[in-house]
Amino acid sequence: MRRPAGHSGGFHPPVLKRLGQHFLNDERVLAGIAAALDLEGHETVVEIGPGRGALTRHLVGLPRRLVLIELDRALAANLREEFADDPTVEVIAADVLDANIAELAGGPYVLVGNVPYYITTPIIFHALQAPMPLLAVFLVQREVAERMAANADDEEYGALSVTIQALTEPELLMRVPPSAFTPAPKVDSAVVRLRPRVRPLVPPETAAGFQAFVQSFFSMRRKQLGTIVRSLEGVDTESAREILVAGGWDPQARPETLSPTEFARLYAALRPTP
């Protein structure tokens, strides 16, 4: 028999610190995340890290299908038991980094997740691989959310800002205090919504190469563009200057002054053509 919504049978597997587990239990925040998905009832939703099912219970009945990907096998077993009588819910015990999310969804999907803070960036970039979700909402460390949404010349602006904004339009929806979790993390959190761009600045299938390209610039963020471009494989001093001048870039500018659009243009000018 399926347990009533909000009930998990009284048994909770122990928190596994090695998995970065912090369970969200604030009903206001949970309801806000569910509302942020803008569901109309025909979608497939993939939830990363459902944990004890707090957000899942807010989602059940909203989409056509709900796919839960949970690394902790004890928690996955609990979720299977709780939702055994609901044919719209599928529980998969797996590491999301090893999963083909689009394949599991079986078509267009919406993505949501309370992402472990120690591995946030790899999970988000894995989740944004082509084919991208229709929409993604993540609960992440506040600092990471602010970096995603930062503008050029902001203190928080960096490789994460550029890569995320090349593919999506990020919105910082709400800040979440440590008291909203069990156990409480040592940092503030935030809910961020990523809407894929109608016209991405780079093709999603080249996102990994673009990310590495941008990261190479920000790893030398105190150096000038001319110096950084000269350091790239296959680009000599004369070629670097010609490329920058032809594209309208100041060779003396620094990486944090370039917008995501300018980085995309620079990537197109410098990357090897097939």
Predicted TM-score of the model (pTM): 0.89
Residue 2 lies in a domain: no
Domain final residue pick, 147, 172, 204: 204
The residue out of 146, 179, 204 marking a domain boundary is 204
pLDDT tens per residue, range 69-84: 999 999 999 999 999 9
What pLDDT digit, counting tens, does each position of 117-159 carry?
889 999 999 999 889 999 999 999 999 999 999 999 999 999 9
Provide the domain limits for residue 180: 17-204
Quick one: which of 160, 146, 145 has its CA closest to 217? Answer: 160
**pLDDT score, position 273:** 56
In this structure, the answer to whether residues 118 and 238 fall within a common structural domain is: no
Q: CATH no. for residue 90?
A: 3.40.50.150
Sheet holding 135-141, edge to edge: 89-93, 65-70, 44-48, 110-114, 135-141, 189-196, 168-176
Based on the fold, state whether residues 96 and 182 are members of the same structural domain. Answer: yes
Residue 198 has pLDDT above 70, yes or no: yes
**8 has a pLDDT exceeding 70:** no
**199 within domain boundaries:** yes
Q: Is the pLDDT of residue 43 over 80?
A: yes
Place of tokens 């979608």: 43
Q: Indicate whether 154 and 210 sit together in one domain.
A: no
CA atoms of 127 and 149, how far apart (whole Å) = 18
Question: 173-187 in b/e burial notation, b at 16+ Cβ within 10 A?
Answer: beebeeebbbeeeee
